[in-house]
Amino acid sequence: MGIIVQKYGGTSVATPARLRRVAGRIAQTLEDPECVGVAVVVSAMGHSTDRLIDLAHRITPAPDSREMDMLLSTGEMVTAPLLAMALQARGVPAISLTGLQAGIRTTGRHRHARISEIRPERLVDTIYSGRVVIVTGFQGATAELDISTLGRGGSDTTAVALAVALGGDHCEIYTDVAGVFTADPRVVPDARPLAGISYDEMLEMASVGAVVMHPRAVEIGAAYSLPIWVRSTFGSGPGTIINGEANVEGRQPVRGIAHRTDVAKVTLVGVPDRPGVASAVFGPLADHGVNIDIVVQNVSHDGFTDLSFTIAEADLGMARLVLEQVATDVGAAGYQATADIGKVTAVGTGLLNIPGMFATACRALADAGINIQMMSTSEIRITFVVDRGRVIDAVRALHRIFALEKL
């Protein structure tokens, strides 16, 4: 199996006692005679990143991104040497490396940097010298050797990219849940961990609220056909394998139901239906950092149409400011905005290829008396926008109609 790359998230390394347990798991991995060596990627301990962000905000409401990166990088730089010490205390040779030392080069866009190159010479040398390498997740260095961070979920990205660079045959992501579930178990009590899910399905699940894996990490796995194994750090279950297999567990057309409630809906009413309107609306929003999610534009009546779209709830205030002006500019009758909505998404590679699946999903919501405000589909996904108060009911209804509780 060659070199194994494992990533442990913040909850798994939150205390010295947990770090010792993680060290035990790594030592166990090394006992496999086929294991050539282990590289470990760690997150910051528990909520330490949040504490650092809070510290910065006590200095200034709008801290500089470059300085934030230096500050935030210290979170993982605490975890990595502590885990190395825990391994050494068990008699396992280990060494910690920062992203810079591990040869992770990134673009210079601070707080949202992207890995541009990994120079794995030192990693490889160290592993073949018989030591476990602990790499700080979430960070790298720019060409100027400035510290950069990879944004939310960055440690997953580090792990998958390292597995690719080291020629590992898979990457193991250890987390506080037993794998990727068919739905959030807090919402659907009989949701179960999936044995497998395809990259595409995982990308859809991740982008609609199943936060077990960051989409960018999945994208890298897909690009290099590297299987990603999501498992519980302290449990013993098999976990979920994310790979290129479209139907790793039989013919079930729907793989899972994801949802999120941190969204808002905006409708521009009575928009003149002419070329350039969409650009006039979405350009200024993008300029102000507002990302658009689902967009629905209906057929026009008498040259006017309604344009609806969803955004992150956190961006609603900014969107309102922008739309005051934009509505006037494009000659719309006005706009409506509400945060009282949520998104529910059924994901599965077989979804749209099997006749009747879409109708089945719609019927499940209708039977539960849930009104569909907007909907959007892709090859492997159906998303419904519904009242926020009905999101949980919608998740349960879809989970039931597709019989996801059954293996």
**Residues interacting with its own copies, by CB under 8 A?**
16, 19-20, 52, 55-56, 58-60, 63-64, 66-68, 70-71, 73-74, 77-78, 80-82, 84-86, 88-89, 95-96, 98, 100-101, 145-147
Please provide the size of the chain in residues: 407
Q: Which is nearer to its own copies, 85 or 368 (CB)?
A: 85
How far apart are CB 283 and its own copies at their closest, in Å?
A: 30
Q: Which is nearer to its own copies, 72 or 347 (CB)?
A: 72
Q: Which is nearer to its own copies, 63 or 185 (CB)?
A: 63
CA distance 315 to 300: 28
Q: For the chain, how big is the Rg over CA atoms in Å?
A: 23
Distance of CA 215 to the CA centre of its chain: 4
* Token duo for residue 185: 């178990």
Backbone angles phi, psi at 241, to 5 degrees: -100, 130
How far apart are CB 231 and its own copies at their closest, in Å?
A: 24
How far apart are CB 275 and its own copies at their closest, in Å?
A: 44
Q: Which is nearer to its own copies, 101 or 360 (CB)?
A: 101
Q: Which is nearer to its own copies, 233 or 345 (CB)?
A: 233
Backbone angles phi, psi at 235, to 5 degrees: -95, 180
Collapsing DSSP states into helix, strand and coil, what is residue 2? Answer: strand
How far apart are CB 86 and its own copies at their closest, in Å?
A: 5
How far apart are CB 184 and its own copies at their closest, in Å?
A: 34
Q: Is the dihedral of CA 353, 200, 382, 240 positive or negative?
A: positive
Q: Which is nearer to its own copies, 86 or 113 (CB)?
A: 86
Q: Which is nearer to its own copies, 67 or 219 (CB)?
A: 67
Bridge partners, residue 14, by sequence? none
Q: How far apart are the first and last CA of the chain?
A: 29
CA distance 39 to 103: 13
Q: Which is nearer to its own copies, 28 or 60 (CB)?
A: 60
How far apart are CB 173 and its own copies at their closest, in Å?
A: 23
How far apart are CB 242 and its own copies at their closest, in Å?
A: 32
* Residue 30 identity: L
Collapsing DSSP states into helix, strand and coil, what is residue 328? Answer: helix
Alpha helices in 16-116 (DSSP H): 16-31, 48-59, 65-89
Q: Which is nearer to its own copies, 38 or 84 (CB)?
A: 84
For residue 235, give the DSSP letter. Answer: -
Q: Which is nearer to its own copies, 100 or 163 (CB)?
A: 100
* Residue 78 identity: V
CA distances from 16 to 11, 83, 167, 269 (A): 12, 9, 31, 56
How far apart are CB 103 and its own copies at their closest, in Å?
A: 10
Residues 6+ apart with CB under 8 A from 106: 99, 113, 114, 115, 116, 140, 141, 142, 148, 150
CA distance 95 to 105: 20
How far apart are CB 31 and its own copies at their closest, in Å?
A: 21
How far apart are CB 106 and its own copies at their closest, in Å?
A: 15
CA distance 205 to 126: 36
* Residue 19 identity: L
